[in-house]
Amino acid sequence: MQSCKFPRLVSTSKEARQASLDAEKMLDEHKSKCSMREDVYLVIKTFCDKKFMVQPEEQRFIDRLVKDYERKGLRLRPEMRGEAERLNARIGELCNVFQNNINEDESSLSFTVGELTGMHSDFIKSLNTGEDGKLKVTLKPIHYFPIMEYCKVRATRSAVAAARYRRCMKENTPLLEKVLDLRHKLARLLGYKNWAEYSLELCMAKKPEKVQEFQEKMVEHITPAALRELKLLQDLKEEEEGNSVVGLEDILYYIQKAERRMINLDINDLSQYFPVDTVTSGILKIYEHLLGLKLQESRSRHVWHEDVREYEVFDSEKKACLGIIYLDLFSREGKYNHACVVPLQPGCDLDDSCRQVPVAALLMNFTKSATNIETLLKHSELVSYFHEFGHMMHHVCSQASFARFSGLQVESDFREAPSHMLENWCYEKESLKMMSCHCKDPQKEITDGLCNLLKAKRKSFPALRALRNHLFLGTLDLILHTEEKIDTELLIKRLYPEVVLGMPMLDGTNLAASTLHLMSGGCDAACYAYLWSEVFAADMFETKFKGNIMNNIVGMEFRNKVLVPGATKDAVQILKDFLGRDPSVDAYLRINGLNQFDDL
């Protein structure tokens, strides 16, 4: 099924992307019909009720199947099931349109060189020139974030930020608000108070009240530190512009300036140490060593684009093939413009005692060098690459018997935790040296001093980043999926300053209209999960790996206790098995210099 949906994410052909979208609609319709098969449900329910002696994973699978059918409406009276099926189908259809609108968006702005003052010369060279002689800036991450961090012209930053937050606003705002309404109707039909209660039932948090409590406590404990961080930015802006009012369009720019002043680290110069091939080779070596794997590049070339590289993944001791992975690293027209891992085939046991190996593709959007010089990555791109590679290893290392529990199908509020933990390897000297060399002198390794500065940079402005990147979106998401009849634009205009220290949202924008996580299956009502996962990631790293990052005995314990189970166990049990105790929030708070509070 996934192979039919995949072309809409990677194909350069608009016709192929549309055909893929059409196929996805048909598959979703078929899946919806299968999920309403009363005859199948009754057979499984009868089997479950008879309490046969089965293996724990088999019992979990049976219980989950029953729950899946009942969450689709099979417990309802026959006359109500049709309504549940119609609502499910309509929600899926509108979500697909919403996501496709974002994927196909090619919005851009044009600027003179003067309006891009402060941007690195390589960035300027990478931009296309329009018929008017101006430089074309898209709203994709590869253009948006550099401009927000480095452009000295506030009007340019403001225009780019406003345009990005207006993306797909006209077509997607009504789609989003319609889906929210349909989700609430479906939740009530199924016996839940709201969509958040329905969505969180299968998560670690279980209930909206738990999520709200977590987020409110985090806001309470993060806000004092965030206010101190904001004061640093206000002082810096007052010094540079004579005006201390920091707006949304100023945050990343003045964080970058403050970091350069405090840490004296030039991110653009740092890129010289991260040629993409060296980074890739280092990532492979680290994961091989840590998890007891061997990744061997395939020469079959059964790939969808010439840039794609295929690898077979083997267990280094048993020599068995564990799976196949694809690296699709460079941006191109029509390609999905965010970093992600796409599971193309789940790992599972087959009827004939053979095993179906998992297959996954990693999609990045690095800017391919326009010259003969190898593509150089920013450190933030290296972190994203390493993080997503961790998701692939989770998918490939899983040894679930049933496809239903393969790899990344863990609870949505645990899915990011392993990869968040693995990001630590992007800040430690030993692993950084494995992933780097100077582009002009391969024998010249990154210095200990630069490694120390990177670690210091990671710890700068953590509270402000948490408020903006996680707690605002998590709070917005929870409100959207617990309350009804919401004007999303007005809600964001009110909520953003409430959460982010009084900072106003840009007028005439609606960032919800281009936020995929609000509409993606498994992410709806679960945007809190990013910060939630960071808490568990910090606990795992400090407890097991701190000062011990290349210990492959601990690495194998991580593989066997966290990655191998997939979704065959509850995530909280997986954490207990690895940590040897209940998980704690202390490590996250300690790392970020925040006050302690009672555990989750």
Q: Give me 131's structure tokens.
A: 């018929």
- The CA distance from 388 to 370, in Å, is 25
- The CA distance from 206 to 24, in Å, is 30
Alpha helix (H) ranges present in 105-140?
121-126
Radius of gyration of the chain (CA): 24
- The CA distance from 356 to 406, in Å, is 11
Amino acid at 498: E
- The CA distance from 263 to 311, in Å, is 39
Of 410, 320, 302, the residue nearest 357 (C-alpha): 320
Q: Are strands 348-349 and 135-138 parallel, antiparallel or unpaired?
A: unpaired
What value, to the nearest 5°, has the Cα angle with vertex 87 and ends 83 and 93? 145
388 included as an active-site residue = yes
Residue ranges with strand state E in 104-216 = 108-111, 128-129, 135-138
Q: How many CB atoms lie within 10 A of CB 136?
A: 14
Of 86, 146, 95, 92, the residue nearest 119 (C-alpha): 146
Residue at token pair 């806000």 = 223
289: β partners: none
Burial class from Cβ neighbours inside 10 Å (0-12, 13-18, 19+) for residue 373 reads exposed
Q: How many CA atoms lie within 13 A of 151 on its CB side?
A: 26
SS3 state at 174:
helix
- The CA distance from 588 to 572, in Å, is 17
- The CA distance from 29 to 369, in Å, is 42
Of 575, 572, 597, the residue nearest 585 (C-alpha): 597
Catalytic residue (one of 177, 388, 428, 489):
388
Residue at token pair 């780097």 = 436
Of 204, 200, 258, the residue nearest 228 (C-alpha): 258
**Catalytically annotated residues:** 388
